[in-house]
Structure 1
Amino acid sequence: MSINATGSAVHTTGVTAPVDVPRGLAGVVVTDTALGDVRGREGFYHYRQYSAVELAKTRSFEDVWHLMVHGELPDAARSAAFAAHTAALRALPDELRAVLPAVAAASGRSGPLAGLRTGLSLFGAEQGFRPVYDIDAERRRGDTLAACAVAPTLLAALYRLGRGLDPVEPREDLSFAANYLYMLTGSEPGPERARAVEQYLISTIDHGFNASTFTARVIASTGADVGACLVGAIGALSGPLHGGAPSRALDTIDAIGSSDRIDAWIRERVLAGDRIMGFGHPVYRTEDPRSRMLKGIAQEFGGPLVDFAVEVERQVEAILAELKPGRELHTNVEFYAGVVMELCGLPREMFTPTFAAARMVGWSANILEQSEDSKIIRPAARYVGPGAPVPVPSAA
């Protein structure tokens, strides 16, 4: 694939005619999926047939996890059974536990998300994950459940080890979200904090055919094992153009500092062409439904940070509407996600890793779906270098 004179990518192969597609494959349909979709003009997204926001408001993380990998919401009995089954998968194998201090030390500058890539790769190897094309659907699903269950344990342990603290062992009697907070802080969270984090986690499980989801599916299409697919997806998520930056959005709020500084601070950066973290989204042309929900959660907590965030949102949207008319730039999921996680006591360096822990469920569902298709994803590129062949010059 290459870029033609119009700025579009050109897809070529040796046997088919060139096909012009947008740069970055924007809007190009590459497969069918039953997992969900994003309708950006409506400000709506869904997991399977259900509104993702409604699911976040009414169901548990485990229930939505079940929906994504099994295709249906569980009743009360199956919900309890699934929660118990996945909770029993949280503990780290002894072989992995033994090397985590070295992983934490080696990834100290990059943080727990980088350590998660290594940890998950080692976990998959220790568990004997096999290529998805060599195992049946039940084994594939089991591999994804094990990986998703252990990821929060890995993240919390890496975070604590990086600060000279002992890891906190997971508890099977706590929900996914409550256990994650417990392992990070060493204290059992109150129900309000646990539920707020749970709703955030549910809201970020999946979001269309984004770069990391596509990466997971490309790797799955090669037949690679579940661990390899997930590690590749984490690598894509870690890029600053994709993974989101709830902590950087919160840093913006901190940098502004007070209401009387909002107008001048924002105008200076917009006129300089800088991006305002937490505002705008490549898909939504209206308010991000995730941001709307998280704003409501933040307002239930209340307090000076929430009041200031609401004022920043109001003024920034007005300034953007004035300086960039017609762009419909609103808060995205990063803005109020940062506020909610700050209120719930998550360290800022754990915001994006927490996002990854939730998104692993969506990646897993996509891996399982892609594994049913034996066609490898293999686009082509148009060569634009010097004409070939050229005689190889002598080394003399």
Structure 2
Amino acid sequence: MSINRAPATLVDAPRGLAGVVVTDTRIGDVRGNEGFYHYREYSAVELAQTRSFEDVWHLLVHGDLPDARRGAAFTAETAALRRLPEEVRAVLPAIAAASARSGPLAGMRTALSLLGAAKGFRPVYDIDADRRRQDTLVACAAVPALLTALYRLGRGLDPVEPREDLSYAANYLYMLTGCEPDPERARAVEQYLISTIDHGFNASTFTARVIASTGADVAACLVGAVGALSGPLHGGAPSRALDTLDAIGTPDRVDSWIRERVLAGERIMGFGHAVYRTEDPRSRMLRETAQRFGGPRVDFAVEVERRVEAILAELKPGRELHTNVEFYAGVVMELCGLPREMFTPTFAAARVVGWSANVLEQAQDSKIIRPAARYVGRKAPVAVPQPA
């Protein structure tokens, strides 16, 4: 058993640990002042534009981009893991019913935990690197099946069995709708998934690593990450960004609607980012993806972006407030037929790969993450009063 001794002195950190470096990583980084982020040594946006989801998945868990032969082998390996164990399939209707008000992401927390138990996941502390990696592949391959089954069951529909001949993104859309998607929409969703696989030490990634530092199993780490993602300040903005477009309604209402809310101190969903001080590169790529489809909805979104940025620059001078990934992510997912309640679950279907890569990296370090807190309550000790 390791002994964690408290430091001789406490070190004050900024609220939210902003800017505090807690570990080293080889997975990727976000360079907010440049508007750039990368997975390992490659631009994440360039990867989204040129490679498949499976190739990038391989990059994160194995450390390199595969050639065509190895890429095909990895795609086949992970596709073969998509079918859920019978023990999990049998209880999905009950989970869907219990989480009907909260949605598929809440149900997935329970289902993912059950999957880990059914598959015999063991603490990462007790298994070797190959077994850890295999457990992450099993979990990541199952997540789309869990999410889509819970969504369909919640609407009185039967789950759609996965197909091994479809890509990760195309199979996700197929299991969600029951129809094989056209290649253009499948590729648009794939680019979105790739662009959101990982993004620095965000709240859910940090949560996964904290749990991994305890030596817990892969499912426990991922369930904790899903819990962090479920918070609206982290993963809930794509549908809310579309709600903004709906609330504005028409181009002639943009200025008045935005000014009223900015002057009232309200946040405009889909604008601003905790890290980027320039345009979010993911937003730029997804804008281009949306414009390939075209249509009134896309034109309206582009106009709203232009006017909101101008108004924010006028009313909040000196602050760089641009569209973030959620703004055009919502537009792209809507164009591809995804219902709004599946926007954040779709994000999770991508980010589970990034969480897994971080779990694998953290598992190599035997030091538990155990910060301190400064007590500011009533002075202790005080005598315990006797009951009257």
Residue identity in the other structure for 1:191: P
C-alpha separation in 1, matches of 2:380 and 2:236:
42
- Deviation of the 1:194 alpha carbon: 0.2
1:369 paired to 2:361: yes
Q: Who is 1:107 aligned against?
A: 99
Q: Who is 2:181 aligned against?
A: 189
> Given that residues 30 and 200 in structure 2 are in contact (C-alpha distance below 8 angstroms), is that contact kept between their aligned partners in structure 1?
yes
1:222 paired to 2:214: yes
1:73 paired to 2:68: no
Task: After superposing the two structures, state which structure 1 stretch, 243-252 or 277-286, moved more.
Answer: 243-252
1:24 paired to 2:16: yes
C-alpha separation in 2, matches of 1:339 and 1:206:
21
Residue identity in the other structure for 2:357: A
C-alpha separation in 2, matches of 1:235 and 1:257:
33
Q: Secondary structure at the match of 2:30?
A: strand
Q: Who is 1:263 aligned against?
A: 255
Cα displacement string for residues 122-160 of structure 1 (whole angstroms, at most 9, x for unaligned residues): 000100100001000000000000000000000000000
> Given that residues 48 and 194 in structure 2 are in contact (C-alpha distance below 8 angstroms), is that contact kept between their aligned partners in structure 1?
yes
C-alpha separation in 2, matches of 1:333 and 1:135:
37
**Gaps spanning 5+ residues in structure 2: where?**
none
Q: Secondary structure at the match of 2:38?
A: strand
Pick one of 56, 63, 88 that aligns with 2:80.
Answer: 88
Q: Who is 2:284 aligned against?
A: 292
Over the aligned positions, Cα root-mean-square deviation in angstroms equals 0.7
> Given that residues 283 and 323 in structure 2 are in contact (C-alpha distance below 8 angstroms), is that contact kept between their aligned partners in structure 1?
yes
Q: Who is 1:385 aligned against?
A: 377
1:44 paired to 2:49: no
C-alpha separation in 1, matches of 2:349 and 2:7:
42
Residue identity in the other structure for 2:280: D
Residue identity in the other structure for 1:98: A
- Deviation of the 1:15 alpha carbon: 3.9
Q: TM-score, normalised by structure 1?
A: 0.96
Residue identity in the other structure for 1:339: V
Residue identity in the other structure for 1:241: L
C-alpha separation in 1, matches of 2:142 and 2:6:
44
Task: After superposing the two structures, state which structure 1 stretch, 384-393 or 342-351, moved more.
Answer: 384-393
1:132 paired to 2:124: yes
- Deviation of the 1:232 alpha carbon: 0.1
- Deviation of the 1:382 alpha carbon: 1.1
C-alpha separation in 1, matches of 2:331 and 2:35:
21
Relative to structure 1, is the Cα distance of residues 42 and 344 closer, same or farther in structure 2, using a 3 angstrom cutoff?
same
C-alpha separation in 1, matches of 2:226 and 2:154:
20
C-alpha separation in 1, matches of 2:65 and 2:358:
17
Residue identity in the other structure for 2:203: A
Cα displacement string for residues 169-217 of structure 1 (whole angstroms, at most 9, x for unaligned residues): 0000000000000000000000000000000000000000001000000
Cα displacement string for residues 362-386 of structure 1 (whole angstroms, at most 9, x for unaligned residues): 0000000000000000001111111
**Gaps spanning 5+ residues in structure 1: where?**
1-12
Q: Secondary structure at the match of 2:82?
A: coil
Relative to structure 1, is the Cα distance of residues 15 and 284 closer, same or farther in structure 2, using a 3 angstrom cutoff?
closer
Q: Who is 1:303 aligned against?
A: 295
4+ residue runs over 4 A deviation: none
Cα displacement string for residues 206-235 of structure 1 (whole angstroms, at most 9, x for unaligned residues): 000001000000000000000000000000
C-alpha separation in 2, matches of 1:89 and 1:68:
18
- Deviation of the 1:18 alpha carbon: 2.4
1:180 paired to 2:172: yes
1:116 paired to 2:108: yes
Residue identity in the other structure for 2:302: V
Q: Who is 1:169 aligned against?
A: 161
- Deviation of the 1:248 alpha carbon: 0.6
Q: Who is 1:7 aligned against?
A: none
- Deviation of the 1:14 alpha carbon: 4.7
Q: Secondary structure at the match of 1:45?
A: strand
Cα displacement string for residues 267-316 of structure 1 (whole angstroms, at most 9, x for unaligned residues): 00000000000000010000000000000000000000000000000000
Q: Who is 2:137 aligned against?
A: 145
Q: Who is 1:155 aligned against?
A: 147
C-alpha separation in 1, matches of 2:192 and 2:374:
42
Pick one of 179, 192, 196 that aligns with 1:204.
Answer: 196
Q: TM-score, normalised by structure 2?
A: 0.98
Residue identity in the other structure for 1:329: L
C-alpha separation in 1, matches of 2:373 and 2:320:
35
> Given that residues 10 and 372 in structure 2 are in contact (C-alpha distance below 8 angstroms), is that contact kept between their aligned partners in structure 1?
no
Pick one of 269, 273, 277 that aligns with 2:269.
Answer: 277
C-alpha separation in 1, matches of 2:370 and 2:6:
13
**Overall identity of the aligned pairs, in %:** 84
C-alpha separation in 1, matches of 2:255 and 2:386:
65
C-alpha separation in 2, matches of 1:302 and 1:181:
21
Residue identity in the other structure for 1:178: A
Relative to structure 1, is the Cα distance of residues 287 and 15 closer, same or farther in structure 2, using a 3 angstrom cutoff?
closer
C-alpha separation in 2, matches of 1:272 and 1:162:
38
Pick one of 197, 213, 227 that aligns with 2:205.
Answer: 213
